[in-house]
Chain A
Amino acid sequence: MSRSTPVDLGFQRHTLDNGLRVVLHRDPRLPLVTVNVWYHVGSKNEQPGRTGFAHLFEHMLFQGSEHVGTNDHFRLVQQVGGVANGSTWYDRTNYYETLPSHHLELGLWLEADRMGYLLPALTQQNLDTQRDVVMNERRQRIENMPYGMAGERLHELLYPPGHPYRWPVIGYMDDIAAATLEEVRTFFRTYYTPNNAVLSVVGDIDPDDAIVQVERWFGEIPAGPPKPPVVIPTAPLGGEQREVRPDDVRLPRIYLGFRGPAYGRRAWYAADLLTATLSGGKSSRLFQDLVYNRQIAQDVGAYISPYEAGATFMVVATARPGVAAEVLEQALIEHLDRAAGELPAPADLERARNRMLTEHFTALQKLETRADVFSQLTTYFDDPGGINREIEQYMDLDGRELRDFAAEFLVAGNRASLLFVPRESHP
């Protein structure tokens, strides 16, 4: 079949003297600009007993800096019609402001102020408030949510003590409560340096003007020392991990987790393409068999996350009432065994590739996604141009590579199974 022509996104890249890497992309479709900063620090850089720090710190970055008042970050952005947010993940923390394009310098000023001039605004009172806010965030998103503990427990089963993907990004409640102001300051000095950051400016800009403005606001922020290395234990999982968890739910749900290849490796893309053959759409294999034909699942999905030190591959299914969790677990395992033993059907592969293409174009419509992809590829691989090439990875893969991925990774010895079951049936 014919293929729609890929969109070729042009960009400029620069590195300031202080080590800040800058990507500039002109996208004049709308009078908007997004200022997007990635710091190469996430929960992976924390220590056991001191978890949740990277995320708590993200909250502190919205509490003002030397020249920006406590609640002024959002106020200044919103009053010109902008939006702002941030997020923390295992490997990175990101921040953005999307603004009417003539307010580009407002975004640069805000990001530069908190990169270079944060410490005077870090107060005990702000920390106390944000600790409570984050504890409520943890309650809302994890503890009070059906199956909300799944991600946390699955990672604890998959990764041994000391492994930096073992603990949850939001942190454990006791650790959040114990965070001190001095630790917050040290964290800032260690990780929030221009040489540990990437700035992408995407939108209705003139890149030649924008780099002058970037240099003006960020150029005089001093570089920091190199950050401490993260040690990733390399020992394999070494045997199946399994937990049955009675919980306050009415429908059993199965989570199968596997340690996977690092994001960026060819096997990672094979895994991602495999998830698109297995799930996504009513004609996918897992949906057809488990939801449509056998009607033992209410929903089913397969996913792989882009972690830089080894991804987690996950299959999740919710059981219909009256279906034992173990029955559904076994059915999922059989599908994965088949993926390891047989080539995917050509029709499944075609559907998965086309789906990737559609998703790629859909994602590129959004300014903030373009900026995030530029920052992500620069942060992990120093390769912003990957935005134009990543989709080709999926088109090049053949069925054998999907099968080989499954045969190597989706095996019992590399698997953690977490079964949520209604509490009353397991007293």
Chain B
Amino acid sequence: MTAMRPDRTVPPAPGRARAFHFPPFLRHTLANGLEVLAARLDDVPLVSLELVTPGGGLYDPRGKEGLAALTAGVIDEGTRRRNALEIATFVERLGGSFGAGIDWDEGYLATGLLAEHLPAGLELIAEVATEPTFPEEEIERLRKQRLTEIVRRRQDPGLLAEDRLAAVLYEGTVYDHPLHGHPETVAALTRDDLVAFYRACYTLHGSRLIAVGDLDPEAILREAEARFSSLPPGPPPRPEINPEPLPGLQVYVVDRPGGAQTELRLGHVGVPRTDPDYIPMIVLNTLVGGKFTSRINLNLRERHAYTYGASTRLSPRLGPGPFVVDVAVATASTGAAAVETLGELRRIREELVEPHELEETVSYVRGVFPYTFQGASDLARRLETLAVYGLPNDYYERYLERLPAITREELLTVAQRRIHPDHMAVVAVGPAEALVPQLETLGPVTVLPVPG
């Protein structure tokens, strides 16, 4: 092989781009209200099945925080036909996995297994969804496990910071608690609570069966019709979440004497996933803190070396999830890191971004889209987003078209409307003695102990 000596001084020109198209999928709402989304992906002999219900933390009643999580924890620990071990063994002996869980917007029952075992997966999902028995002894066992999980969480400085931030930003709304609840509320939950939550939130309307893999989508539709019709119609009425913005910067230090580093969060209430500003916010967030070459990471990591990495994130939820800056810093640099971060957030709402920054960011967000489609679970997650947020079938194509139409002026307007550096909660988990003097110039400081 002989080759021409390459010109190394400039990046090589690209070849011809091959288009990416969102994979075809079936989407249909049955007469009984259950929505079905299914896609064939047959490159490997696997299937991924998921029943997504409204049973998420959003529906936790006041005083019963953690109910959605405990209900999901116990739902697969006993049915009219099988006990907890039999349920676990049924799919695991086939090499598959089965699990139930929640996030803010949904409760889910999910299984992943070899395609030849699809009927077993469907059978088990349907059985657990429609015939759970919530045995008392399983509730007690899971309750102890969840209470232990809360203890474990309090060892972790990053999680302590997250919990404090949510409590401050969302005080008085359902988003103010950790999804797994508080020790006192978890301790007080009863079997009746779980059964009532199950009946209210595991409903036909508002639920989706999502199936992706080496399967026939039409067959999934028929199975869905046959297997889930005994669920109650629903859906539950959705609570409103309208937290008051903070009047100014508020600083909270969770005292962890002897911590080797400080976990720092800055946050305020953001926009719901369905808000028209969400797409420009994706671009804005990526540019400010959502990629390695973002402004905040280049500033805090590459320019100042305060940290291993700094990032910002949106939290896609039905209600207004938080916008958060996330950074673990050398304790002595905490005040400086907070000041630099706030400076970057102010700058984004005072000046137009540079043309090349916008171009690079939009190109990144668009270009990386196909990368998020590797495998059945990736595609399932995209379909889930369409379903849970009620987005149209062509949403992602429109999203890819919308991105390059975003202008610098639009970003500035959105930043001024949606980024609030003077109304943030600043939470630092680390040694208070060292942190308070660094942070008290920002605003009033409240020092708290690690919860007991």
Interface residues in chain A, defined as those with a beta carbon under 8 Å from any beta carbon in chain B: 2, 4-5, 7, 29-32, 66-67, 70-71, 74-76, 78-84, 98, 100-106, 108-109, 112-113, 117, 128-130, 132-137, 139-141, 143-146, 204, 211-212, 215-217, 219-220, 248-251, 281-284, 288, 291-292, 295, 298, 318, 320-321, 347, 350-351, 353-358, 361-362, 364-367
Q: CA separation between A144 and B157, bound complex, in Å?
A: 8
Decide if A298 touches B148 in the complex (CB within 8 Å).
yes
Decide if A357 touches B114 in the complex (CB within 8 Å).
yes
| B360: A residues at CB distance < 8 A | 75, 78-79
Interface window among B4-12, B191-199, B388-396: B4-12
Say whether B116 faces chain A, with CB atoms less than 8 Å apart.
yes
| B148: A residues at CB distance < 8 A | 251, 298, 320-321
| B302: A residues at CB distance < 8 A | 70-71, 129, 133
| A83: B residues at CB distance < 8 A | 368, 371
Decide if B308 touches A31 in the complex (CB within 8 Å).
no
Nearest-neighbour CB distance to chain A for B151, whole angstroms, equals: 5
Decide if A106 touches B329 in the complex (CB within 8 Å).
no
- The residue that B6 contacts in the complex, of A2, A136, A217, A362, with Cβ under 8 A, is A217
Nearest-neighbour CB distance to chain A for B141, whole angstroms, equals: 7
Interface readout for B361-393 with A: 1 if CB under 8 Å, 0 if not? Answer: 001111111110111100000000000000000
Q: CA separation between A292 and B44, bound complex, in Å?
A: 33
Q: CA separation between A356 and B96, bound complex, in Å?
A: 10
CB closest residue in chain A, given B93: A351
Decide if A78 touches B307 in the complex (CB within 8 Å).
no
Nearest-neighbour CB distance to chain B for A60, whole angstroms, equals: 13
Decide if B116 touches A144 in the complex (CB within 8 Å).
no
Decide if B46 touches A67 in the complex (CB within 8 Å).
no
| A215: B residues at CB distance < 8 A | 1, 3
CB closest residue in chain B, given A5: B45
Decide if A251 touches B151 in the complex (CB within 8 Å).
yes
Q: CA separation between A204 and B18, bound complex, in Å?
A: 9
Most buried by B among A128, A129, A282, A295: A282
| A367: B residues at CB distance < 8 A | 374
Decide if B44 touches A361 in the complex (CB within 8 Å).
yes
| B114: A residues at CB distance < 8 A | 4, 354, 357-358, 361
Say whether B315 faces chain A, with CB atoms less than 8 Å apart.
no
Q: CA separation between A288 and B144, bound complex, in Å?
A: 16
| B18: A residues at CB distance < 8 A | 31, 101-102, 204
Known: A106-B11, A136-B306. A216 touches B4 (CB 8 A): yes
Decide if A355 touches B95 in the complex (CB within 8 Å).
yes
Decide if A250 touches B260 in the complex (CB within 8 Å).
no
CB closest residue in chain A, given B262: A144
Known: A4-B116, A102-B17, A136-B308. A81 touches B366 (CB 8 A): yes
Q: CA separation between A350 and B89, bound complex, in Å?
A: 11
Decide if A282 touches B151 in the complex (CB within 8 Å).
no
| B92: A residues at CB distance < 8 A | 281-284, 351, 355
Q: CA separation between A364 and B145, bound complex, in Å?
A: 34
Interface window among B30-38, B54-62, B166-174, B290-298: B290-298
Decide if B374 touches A216 in the complex (CB within 8 Å).
no
| B3: A residues at CB distance < 8 A | 212, 215-216, 219
A-B contact pairs, 12 of them (CB 8 A): A7-B43, A30-B371, A75-B293, A78-B360, A109-B8, A136-B306, A139-B330, A215-B1, A251-B148, A288-B85, A318-B152, A353-B95
Chain B residues bordering chain A, tally (CB within 8 A): 81
Decide if A347 touches B306 in the complex (CB within 8 Å).
no
Most buried by B among A82, A106, A361: A361
New contact pairs (11) apart from A139-B328, A144-B261, CB-CB < 8 Å: A4-B115, A32-B371, A66-B8, A71-B298, A81-B363, A140-B328, A143-B261, A146-B155, A282-B85, A321-B151, A365-B43
Say whether B322 faces chain A, with CB atoms less than 8 Å apart.
no
CB closest residue in chain A, given B13: A105
Say whether B200 faces chain A, with CB atoms less than 8 Å apart.
no
| B17: A residues at CB distance < 8 A | 31, 100, 102
- The residue that B85 contacts in the complex, of A105, A108, A143, A283, with Cβ under 8 A, is A283
CB closest residue in chain B, given A136: B308
Decide if A248 touches B373 in the complex (CB within 8 Å).
no
| B363: A residues at CB distance < 8 A | 79-81
Decide if B156 touches A146 in the complex (CB within 8 Å).
yes
Decide if B375 touches A365 in the complex (CB within 8 Å).
yes
Decide if B293 touches A81 in the complex (CB within 8 Å).
no
Interface readout for B277-302 with A: 1 if CB under 8 Å, 0 if not? Answer: 00000000000000111000010011
Q: CA separation between A98 and B368, bound complex, in Å?
A: 9
Q: CA separation between A320 and B46, bound complex, in Å?
A: 36
| B20: A residues at CB distance < 8 A | 30-31
| B19: A residues at CB distance < 8 A | 31
Q: CA separation between A128 and B304, bound complex, in Å?
A: 11
| B339: A residues at CB distance < 8 A | none
Nearest-neighbour CB distance to chain A for B44, whole angstroms, equals: 4
Decide if B368 touches A67 in the complex (CB within 8 Å).
no
Decide if B43 touches A216 in the complex (CB within 8 Å).
no
Decide if A78 touches B46 in the complex (CB within 8 Å).
no
| B149: A residues at CB distance < 8 A | 298
Decide if B12 touches A100 in the complex (CB within 8 Å).
no
Decide if A292 touches B293 in the complex (CB within 8 Å).
no
Decide if A105 touches B15 in the complex (CB within 8 Å).
yes
Q: CA separation between A358 and B111, bound complex, in Å?
A: 12
Q: CA separation between A249 and B450, bound complex, in Å?
A: 12
Decide if B14 touches A145 in the complex (CB within 8 Å).
no
Q: CA separation between A83 and B286, bound complex, in Å?
A: 13
| A283: B residues at CB distance < 8 A | 85, 88-89, 92-93
Say whether B417 faces chain A, with CB atoms less than 8 Å apart.
no
Decide if B328 touches A136 in the complex (CB within 8 Å).
yes
| A366: B residues at CB distance < 8 A | 374-375
| B434: A residues at CB distance < 8 A | none
| A291: B residues at CB distance < 8 A | 145
CB closest residue in chain B, given A27: B43
| B352: A residues at CB distance < 8 A | none
CB closest residue in chain A, given B20: A31
Decide if A358 touches B113 in the complex (CB within 8 Å).
yes
Say whether B259 faces chain A, with CB atoms less than 8 Å apart.
yes
